[in-house]
Amino acid sequence: MSSPTLSRSCERARPAREGPSIECDQFLRVTYACTALQFQWILAQLVRTCRAAGQTWI
């Protein structure tokens, strides 16, 4: 289940040679998964750093 809008904009950015761009969908999925993981990791680091510095509001 992929978003048609995302697929369309992605195909516009990277023209598909044959049929719908499956590679593009996979690329988007992997990119979003990695970004989410990185964001969670960075957030965890920030919380840890703030707590160590004595900030209790986080």
- Reading the block at residue 51, the tokens are 């707590």
Q: What is the pLDDT of residue 56?
A: 59
Which tens digits make up the pLDDT trace of 13-42? 555 455 566 777 888 888 888 888 889 998
Tally of CA atoms within 13 A in the half-sphere of 55 that contains its CB: 8
Q: What is the pLDDT of residue 17?
A: 56
Q: Where are the domains of the chain?
A: 4-52
Q: What is the pLDDT of residue 24?
A: 78
Q: What is the pLDDT of residue 50?
A: 82
Residue 51 or 57, more confident: 51
Q: What is the pLDDT of residue 25?
A: 81
Q: Is the pLDDT of residue 1 over 50?
A: no
